[in-house]
Amino acid sequence: MENVRSLINILDLSVEEIDGMVALATKMLADPAAYAHKCNGKILATLFFEPSTRTRLSFESAMLSLGGQVLGFSEASSSSAAKGESVADTVRTVSCYSDIIAMRHPKEGAPLVASQHSLVPVINAGDGGHNHPTQTLTDLLTIHHEKGRFDNLTVGFCGDLKFGRTVHSLISAMSRYTGTKIVLVSPEELKLPSYVKKEVLQKNGIPYEQTTDLESVMPELDILYMTRVQRERFFNEEDYLRLKDSYILTPDKLHNAKADLSILHPLPRVNEISVAVDQDPRAAYFRQVRYGRYIRMALIMKLLGIA
Ligand code: CP
């Protein structure tokens, strides 16, 4: 719809807009009470056609923290999608009941279709193996707080780089900063899709290397972004079982890592980071979870025209 600003892809936001949201979220972290009534009378709808803990609950927490209210569903089976209703009709309906919508869907492109039929802003809360822009905003706020900058960082992505939508979105976001280097660590079958390599890395002249060996590249990394193998995107269980434990980060594998490495993970974790790593001060993934609430507060305010 015209004059309604949605967020479907992280590149829908300029670098300057992201900087502004990071600054706003940082102020909110310091003084949440100052923002407790910014969204009084506003309603967020969360339409989750796929499971979620962090994204749905952090969106709900964000809107409640701003003084707004929330409604929605957490599984397709409890909505009229189970009777065959289209995404377009569902969103057209829900946009009559709410001021802003966060939507997760297993089909790539579904939130884009939704945004074309909604009367209110639609936020892509994850679409299939495609994109997850609000996880990327969370990752960027984490990087800003952990490293103090976005430029001149070597970022290693490890695990399922084929189906990991958070990886695709963060690579797009980091490709806009000066001095970014990308290191891709995955099994052969789970390599980064060639469209991301061509349209993002090669198009923007971002230096990158690909390897199957995490320990050999560990000393280079400023950020290690671990990911789980995405069981729900596999066509057969045998392949998942063969690949699921390709990488398990343990304290001994960090022996040659930088002292100021930051270890990120969008979570949920399955087996790819040993719980023993949680004690390492470089493990930033639970701090990352906390940042997700504040950056979503900033995003809600921005798309509602309050920020
Ligand atoms: N990171 C993330 O999207 O987590 P959830 O699937 O729990 O929302």
Nearest CA owner, ligand 1 atom 6: 52
**Confidence at residue 1, expressed as pLDDT on a 0 to 100 scale:** 66
Please compute the mean of the pLDDT values over residues 289-305 and round it to a whole number.
98
Q: What is the pLDDT of residues 236-290, one digit of tens each?
A: 888 888 888 889 999 999 999 999 999 999 999 999 999 999 999 999 999 999 9
Instruction: Please indicate whether residue 232, judged by its CB atom, sits closer than 6 Å to ligand 1.
Output: no
Task: Round to whole Å and give the CA distance between 186 and 181.
Answer: 17
Instruction: Please indicate whether residue 219, judged by its CB atom, sits closer than 6 Å to ligand 1.
Output: no
Confidence of residue 22 (pLDDT cuts 50, 70, 90): very high
Q: Which atom of ligand 1 is nearest to the CA of 57?
A: 8
Q: What is the pLDDT of residues 185-215, one digit of tens each?
A: 999 999 999 999 999 999 999 999 999 999 9
Instruction: Please indicate whether residue 134, judged by its CB atom, sits closer than 6 Å to ligand 1.
Output: no
Task: Round to whole Å and give the CA distance between 129 and 16.
Answer: 27
Question: Does residue 74 sit in helix, strand or coil?
Answer: coil
What is the full DSSP assignment across 113-174?
Answer: HHHTT-SS-EEEEEETTTB-HHHHHHHHHHHHHHHS-SSS-EEEEES-TTT-HHHHHHHHHH
Please compute the mean of the pLDDT values over residues 115-134 and round it to a whole number.
96
**Confidence at residue 161, expressed as pLDDT on a 0 to 100 scale:** 96
| Architecture of domain 134-289 in this structure | 3-Layer(aba) Sandwich (3.40)
Angstrom distances, CA of residue 303 to CA of 20, 195, 213, 291: 13, 29, 42, 18
**Confidence at residue 129, expressed as pLDDT on a 0 to 100 scale:** 86
Nearest CA owner, ligand 1 atom 4: 54
Instruction: State the distance from the centre of ligand 1 to the C-alpha of 68, rounded, in angstroms.
Output: 22
Question: What's the pTM value of the predicted model, to 2 decimals?
Answer: 0.96
Between 242 and 182, residue with greater pLDDT: 182
Confidence of residue 144 (pLDDT cuts 50, 70, 90): very high
Domain regions of the chain by residue span: 10-132+292-303, 134-289
Q: Is the peptide bond before 268 cis (omega within 30 degrees of 0)?
A: yes
**Confidence at residue 66, expressed as pLDDT on a 0 to 100 scale:** 98
Pocket test for ligand 1, best of 267, 269, 286 (most atoms within 8 A of CB): 267
Q: What is the pLDDT of residues 76-93, one digit of tens each?
A: 999 999 999 999 999 999
Instruction: State the distance from the centre of ligand 1 to the C-alpha of 283, rounded, in angstroms.
Output: 18
Quickly count: other Cβ atoms within 10 Å of residue 109's Cβ: 15
Nearest CA owner, ligand 1 atom 3: 55
Instruction: Please indicate whether residue 268, judged by its CB atom, sits closer than 6 Å to ligand 1.
Output: yes
**Confidence at residue 94, expressed as pLDDT on a 0 to 100 scale:** 98
Instruction: State the distance from the centre of ligand 1 to the C-alpha of 56, rounded, in angstroms.
Output: 8
Confidence of residue 2 (pLDDT cuts 50, 70, 90): low
What CATH number does domain 10-132+292-303 carry, 1.20.1440.230, 3.40.50.1370, 3.90.580.10, 3.40.630.10?
A: 3.40.50.1370
Averaged pLDDT score across all residues of the chain? 96
**Confidence at residue 239, expressed as pLDDT on a 0 to 100 scale:** 83
**Confidence at residue 307, expressed as pLDDT on a 0 to 100 scale:** 65
Q: How many CA atoms lie within 13 A of 291 on its CB side?
A: 26
Confidence of residue 232 (pLDDT cuts 50, 70, 90): confident
Instruction: Please indicate whether residue 266, judged by its CB atom, sits closer than 6 Å to ligand 1.
Output: yes
**Confidence at residue 242, expressed as pLDDT on a 0 to 100 scale:** 87
Nearest CA owner, ligand 1 atom 1: 266
Q: Which atom of ligand 1 is nearest to the CA of 292?
A: 1
Same fold, 10-132+292-303 and 134-289: yes
